[in-house]
Structure 1
Amino acid sequence: MLKKIKNKVLRKYAMGKDPVKRIISFWKQGGADYDYYKAAEDPGWIEIFWAPASAFRALFDQLDISRTLEIACGTGRHSFQVRDRFDQLTLLDSSAAAINLAREKFRGFPNVTYIHHPSGTGLPESLPDNSFSTVFSYDAMVHFEQHTILSYMKGAARVLVPGGLCLLHYSNFQANPGGLFSDNPGWRNHMTQEIFNAMAADAGLEILDTRIFNFSSTDSDALSLLRKPVDS
């Protein structure tokens, strides 16, 4: 399914040389075409993340999601799985099309805030310091450039309350450094756990747990639970 969508979208939209702009353009234009978002709403795809025995669920259930920020939320399909548990939910994405779909999905939920963040890097300064109990991102950072992930990690460290938790799903695909993410299995960008650990330290976040697992290829994905130090 993903391969068919990938081939269709890559034929339709040319990609430039700048890696960050290329990725943002891909999701913005693909989002407007709705192909990716339609596929991502498939119940079988969502179940990968929310099945009781999944690594995702085991770490997610450790979060205090009373005040949550979801980065690169797409249509909000992941937050929607626990929609009745939030006191306050903020959904952020670089795609206006995705945010519009999220608004439709969460219609009737007055405790949800929507942020269209077109730069696709970092968090907007309008988000207050020390304001979220949880920051999480699923099925998005696997495609991102390393410096883009670092910008989000630094943003998370700023907006989390001391002791707040951050749960990030990212690539562990170690081949093709400097190449196109769209050439890799499952569009995974180049990343290693050693690089991620160094970025977490740079951002001022403590790694509590990491799971590495097969997704698009052997050991292609990783999931880490991080914490903002209590004394920060």
Structure 2
Amino acid sequence: MSLKQLFNHLVKKNKTNKEKINWVTNPPKKDFIDFMTNKNSVTKTIGDEWEGHAYYDKAENWLYKFWEEDTVFYQRFQELDCTHIVEIACGHGRHVQFYLEKAKSITLLDINQNNIEYCKNRFSSESKISYYVTNGNSLTGIETNSQTTVFTYDAMVHFEMLDVIEYLKEANRVLIKGGKILFHHSNAGYLPTVYYTSKPHWRNFMSADIFAHLASRFGFQVISQDIFSWGEGEDLVENVDCLSLCIKVKNIDP
């Protein structure tokens, strides 16, 4: 059995819950013990790994995966009110062109200063865009109850669960009631103790069910969850991603 087939086998077992997963992959590239006393050091480490990454240039050629009309990304995006929209982990801003005309205000966030500077240059003629360098788990600087949508594509799949939790909390704070989140996150709910780069497509520990549970605790109701595979050919891994669309139904205490 190849490594890809083994990962697919594990995902299928996890999805159906027919038997307990008990498999140890190669040792992780980083030991979590080093980060146990400071959660933000894990967040920063992950952010640093994407600093100046060749991914950003290559990703400009993959926009069809998100914006062709037959994709789940495009279809779910049509359910959003883009009047006041926040994009988490914007990278070089490749998605902005697809909602620019719909929005009255746009807020772009990224953990890397270089990405924010790139976006400022790319959209220098657009006065309705604001930019923030985030610490990797907050929406600091955005007013409470001011936004209609918070979304992220092709980034949260790598995030630590603790940071996803913080973003859910912050999204509840900044969204108006009835506002929505559209989060593309991992469905790799197995091998919870390994570092994310040791898992297929660098998907961190998360699942559709865990996300739905967390979202409900932070004042959101799940509208839809689409589970899908990622990669092509020999790199295809089944059911490793999820796109969750949720609506804010109540405010939560800070």
TM-score for the superposition, normalised by structure 1: 0.86
Partner in structure 2 of residue 147 of structure 1? 162
Residues 104-147 of structure 1 deviation map (CA, whole Å, 9 limit, x = unaligned): 22121010000011x211221x3111100111011111001111
Distance in 2, matches of 1:20 and 1:172, equals: 23
Partner in structure 1 of residue 25 of structure 2? none
Cα displacement (A) at 1:69: 0.5
Partner in structure 2 of residue 51 of structure 1? 68
Cα displacement (A) at 1:40: 1.9
3-state SS in 2 of match to 1:176: coil
Residue 241 of structure 2 corresponds to residue 225 of structure 1: no
Partner in structure 2 of residue 24 of structure 1? 44
Cα displacement (A) at 1:195: 1.1
Percent identity between the two aligned chains: 33
Distance in 2, matches of 1:29 and 1:20, equals: 14
Greater C-alpha Rg: 2
| Partners of 1:213 and 1:220 within 8 A in 2 | yes
- For structure 2, the residue ranges without an aligned partner over 5 or more in a row are 1-28, 232-236
C-alpha distance 230-22 of structure 1, shift in aligned 2 (>3 A)? closer
| Partners of 1:215 and 1:221 within 8 A in 2 | yes
Which protein, 1 or 2, shows the higher relative CO under an 8 Å CA cutoff with sep ≥ 6?
2
More deviation, 70-79/89-98: 70-79
Partner in structure 2 of residue 68 of structure 1? 85
- For structure 1, the residue ranges without an aligned partner over 5 or more in a row are 1-13
| Partners of 1:132 and 1:164 within 8 A in 2 | yes
Match of 1:209 among 207, 214, 224: 224
Partner in structure 2 of residue 3 of structure 1? none
Distance in 1, matches of 2:202 and 2:250, equals: 36
Distance in 1, matches of 2:190 and 2:89, equals: 24
Cα displacement (A) at 1:227: 0.5
More helix by share: 1
| Partners of 1:75 and 1:101 within 8 A in 2 | yes
Distance in 1, matches of 2:248 and 2:128, equals: 24
Residue 97 of structure 2 corresponds to residue 77 of structure 1: no
What stretches of structure 1 move > 6 A for 4+ residues in a row? none
Match of 2:138 among 99, 107, 122: 122
Residue 120 of structure 2 corresponds to residue 103 of structure 1: yes
C-alpha distance 82-61 of structure 1, shift in aligned 2 (>3 A)? same
| Partners of 1:15 and 1:22 within 8 A in 2 | no
TM-score for the superposition, normalised by structure 2: 0.79
Cα displacement (A) at 1:79: 1.9
Residue 207 of structure 2 corresponds to residue 188 of structure 1: no
Residue 189 of structure 2 corresponds to residue 174 of structure 1: yes
Distance in 1, matches of 2:107 and 2:64, equals: 22
Residue 114 of structure 2 corresponds to residue 94 of structure 1: no
How many residues get paired? 214
